[in-house]
Amino acid sequence: MNGVRKSTDAGLTTAERKSLRESEAQEAMSDHVDAEKAFHDNRERLRAARLAREAVAGPMLYPALGLPDETPIFNVRFSTRITNALNGAGVKTVGEIREASDATLLSYQDLGASSIARLRETLGPAQSDALKPKRENPR
């Protein structure tokens, strides 16, 4: 035997058993407190790391008509399918999406007509088009 006595050992008196149960309970509570502290410390470490990553990456934005063309797509909250398709195609900015034709966007793997409709609905046309003066029709 290893010399460690437990409250479940045979041949113990009631007083010894009670004393061992109290010490086992204290040890279990101490282990629980240590585990809670380790869990809390780990959660805070992971939270700090996430906040640091988010600070470097910039704020997450929802797709909107007013987003500047130079906004990186990894800062925009697209659906996972759209994000993966755009990343796979090497698209980096909102302006690239606005400037691309529907046929070009359809050629990207996993980007279908409904995804393109959603992109056009939320992002709108290129802002550079909105700033260009309209040409008058020559008569």
- Same-domain check for residues 85 and 127: yes
Examine residue 1 and state whether it is found in any structural domain, yes or no: no
CB contact set of 98 (below 8 Å; sequence gap of 6+)? 69, 123, 124, 125, 126, 127
Task: Tell me the per-residue pLDDT of 43-82, one tens digit each, with 9 for 90 and over.
Answer: 999 999 998 887 887 777 888 888 898 889 888 999 999 9
The arithmetic mean of pLDDT across residues 4-31, rounded, is: 89
Q: Do 52 and 81 belong to one domain?
A: no
> How many domains, the chain?
2
Q: What is the C-alpha to C-alpha distance for residues 30 and 17, in angstroms, rounded to an integer?
A: 20
pTM assigned to the model: 0.53
Q: Report yes or no on 65 lying in a domain.
A: no
5 falls within a domain: no
Give the Cβ contact number of residue 67 at 10 Å.
21
Question: Is residue 27 one of the residues assigned to a domain?
Answer: yes
Q: What is the domain extent for residue 80? A: 73-131
Q: 127 and 78 share a domain? A: yes
On whether both 88 and 122 belong to a single domain, the answer is yes
- Taking CA atoms, 38 is separated from 48, 52, 124, in Å, by 15, 21, 49
Q: Is 4 domain-assigned? A: no
Closest of 104, 98, 102, 100 to residue 68, by C-alpha: 98
Torsion 93-99-103-104 (CA) sign: negative
Q: What's the confidence (pLDDT) of residue 54?
A: 77
Domain shared by 46 and 91, yes or no: no
* DSSP run (H or E) holding 99: helix 94-99
Residue 6 lies in a domain: no
CATH number at residue 123: 1.10.150
The answer to the question of residue 44 being in a domain is yes
> Residue 128: its pLDDT value, please?
46
In the block, residue with structure tokens 């056009």: 120
Which pLDDT does position 136 carry in this prediction?
58
pLDDT, average across residues 5-13: 83
